[in-house]
Amino acid sequence: MKHVNFTYNLDRTLADGADEKAFRKARKMGVSVLGYLYKKETGVYICWSFAGKYFKVHTGISILPAQFNWKQRLPERSHPNYLELSTLLTTILSKVQREYLRMKTDGIALTGDSIHQMVRCVIHGDHTSPEKALFWKVFGEFMEEKKMLVAPATIVKYETLRKHLQAFEKLKYPMSFEAVTMQWHNEFQVYCIQLNLKTNTVGKLFAMIKAFMNHAYDRKFMRNLEFKKFKVKSETTEPVFLTMEELQAIEKFDPGTNASMATSLRAFLVCCFSGQRISDLLSMKRKDIKRTKDGELWWEVHQVKTRKVVRVFLIDKARKILDVYLSADNSDGYVFPRISPVVINRNLKVIGKVAGLTAEVTKVNYCGNKKLEVTGPKYMFLTTHVARKTFITALSMSNMPDHEIQMLSGHSSSKELRVYKGRDSANIRNQLIALFEPGSIFKSA
């Protein structure tokens, strides 16, 4: 029987109205064909002919025709994810060729349908195996154990991981403990990049994968240790925080008779003055507020995310805000009225705009090696988490030691804390002038 030749083709190559004959002639002559090509990403298919019929299966990868090398049938080296995509496509092709040879050797009837099913199994994992069943059984047990040990927010993250693994399984091949190799790591990373997941998000997914694999290894469900080579990548991004002048502008905002706006403003300010998360503030109960003999007010925070207990001194500004609610008769025991963090974040952008937070801000993240930039007025980036970053940045700039800030924020290490520390450009400028040009007319008062 004639050998089947598997290769890659694109779902669509030419732009609307392009002359196919002229395109082929130009490509044969080595002339630029960019003007003929389709300008959007199109699917990469593995294709073959058998018994006079043409077959193709989508690999799950899309690419611009201009970035496809027709001689090698792989992405061009100029493609931003050339290495990952080339490795993935080469691996798929090798697996398909190997499975085809195994079918011939084992005497399996070679038909158009049997080869098509084999290719789909290699790419999409369209079959269930005992190894796959064990993997998901152990994952389910792992999740049930986690529910008794970690906060609900962490469980949500593990559920997100489960969804990504299931989607990746449908796209590639069945999950099993032995399948989680460095090759699997590279393919899953490409999958994440194609979803435009940021580097920090991908790093957290791999951290959770390693936690699960360690769980399975410790309980002797598997012996594969390649997962220990997985690197959890992260990037430090510049946090958005408020300067003292900007915070004072927020404080002066008048919500009028808008109860939702007033609650959002007060919640944000208490978070700025205490450094706690909005989830902790909305969980605050009257019994959590402790008054000393000297009349000082302390908040005993039972942090929702980390389940740690921290004690925060409430300054007069925070006390005055809380008095508004502590004096009210709330039957549910909570200090703050019930309001969604989504509503608070929406209101904060209105508050920030009125308060004059219009300075241009650029947030930079990465997806693989692709730089993602978002630029806009500062109020567009105003969220409840900015309050926590403002608090930590202010304490850090006042030279409070990290270990004391951690006692208030609940962070376990200086490394965790570092993500929340912003840099005040005005403060940096003044320090440089004071050091090198003490008599400069640019020194601020």
Tell me, what CATH number does 171's domain have? 1.10.150
Percentage of the chain modeled with pLDDT above 70: 91
If one compares 23 and 419, the residue with the highest pLDDT of the two is: 23
**Do 199 and 53 share a structural domain?**
no
DSSP 259: H
Of all helices (H) and strands (E), which one includes residue 314?
Answer: none
Inform me whether the pLDDT recorded for 154 exceeds 80: yes
Residues 321 and 269: beta-carbon distance below 8 Å = yes
**Do 88 and 40 share a structural domain?**
yes
Tokens 């921290």, located at residue: 310
pLDDT of residue 118: 84
pLDDT of residue 420: 73
**Strand-strand pairing, 42-50 and 7-10:** antiparallel
Of all helices (H) and strands (E), which one includes residue 119?
Answer: helix 112-124
pLDDT of residue 349: 96
Return the number of other C-beta atoms located less than 10 Å from residue 408's C-beta.
19
Give residue-wise pLDDT tens across range 225-282: 999 999 888 887 888 999 999 999 999 999 999 999 999 999 999 999 999 999 999 9
pLDDT of residue 34: 87
Averaging pLDDT over each range in 245-249, 294-298, 362-366, which range is the top one?
Answer: 245-249
Residues 413 and 374: beta-carbon distance below 8 Å = no
**Do 141 and 59 share a structural domain?**
no
**Total structural domains in the chain?**
3
Stretch 295-311: mean pLDDT, rounded?
A: 89
Tell me the two tokens of residue 204: 């957290």
Inform me whether the pLDDT recorded for 445 exceeds 50: no
Q: What is the pTM of this model?
A: 0.61
**Do 284 and 208 share a structural domain?**
no
The CATH number of residue 267's host domain is: 1.10.443.10
**Do 37 and 104 share a structural domain?**
yes
DSSP 238: P
**229, 261, 276 — which closes off a domain?**
229
Structural domain includes residue 236: no
**Do 411 and 316 share a structural domain?**
yes
**Do 206 and 97 share a structural domain?**
no
Write out the residue range of the structural domain in which residue 154 sits: 130-229
**Do 67 and 156 share a structural domain?**
no
Taking all residues of the chain, what is their mean pLDDT, rounded to a whole number? 88
**Do 281 and 375 share a structural domain?**
yes
pLDDT of residue 234: 83
Q: Which of 243, 311, 295, 292 is nearest to 272 (CA)?
A: 243
**124, 152, 176 — which closes off a domain?**
124
pLDDT of residue 415: 78
**Do 60 and 161 share a structural domain?**
no
